[in-house]
Amino acid sequence: MKDVLDYNVLPENYFIRIKLEENHFTGEEKILLNIERNTKEFNFNVWKMDYLI
């Protein structure tokens, strides 16, 4: 059974995904890590997140 995403974080997921694909970083990347800890499913490739670790 898949965990259900909280719809309140979906807009933030989408916004951050757009920023990653456009290679445009503004210092809000910490939100990405917070969402990752709170959700089980994520649409990011690992190689795109290496710089955040």
Q: What percent of the chain is predicted at pLDDT more than 90?
A: 0
Entry pTM: 0.16
Taking Cα atoms as reference points, which of 7, 5, 31 lies closest to residue 18? 31
For residue 19, the one-letter residue type is K
What are the DSSP calls for 1-53, one per residue? -PPPPPTTTHHHHHHHHHHHHTT---S-THHHHHHHHH-S-----HHHHGGG-
Please say if the pLDDT value at position 46 is more than 50: no
Every domain of the chain and the residues it spans? 10-52
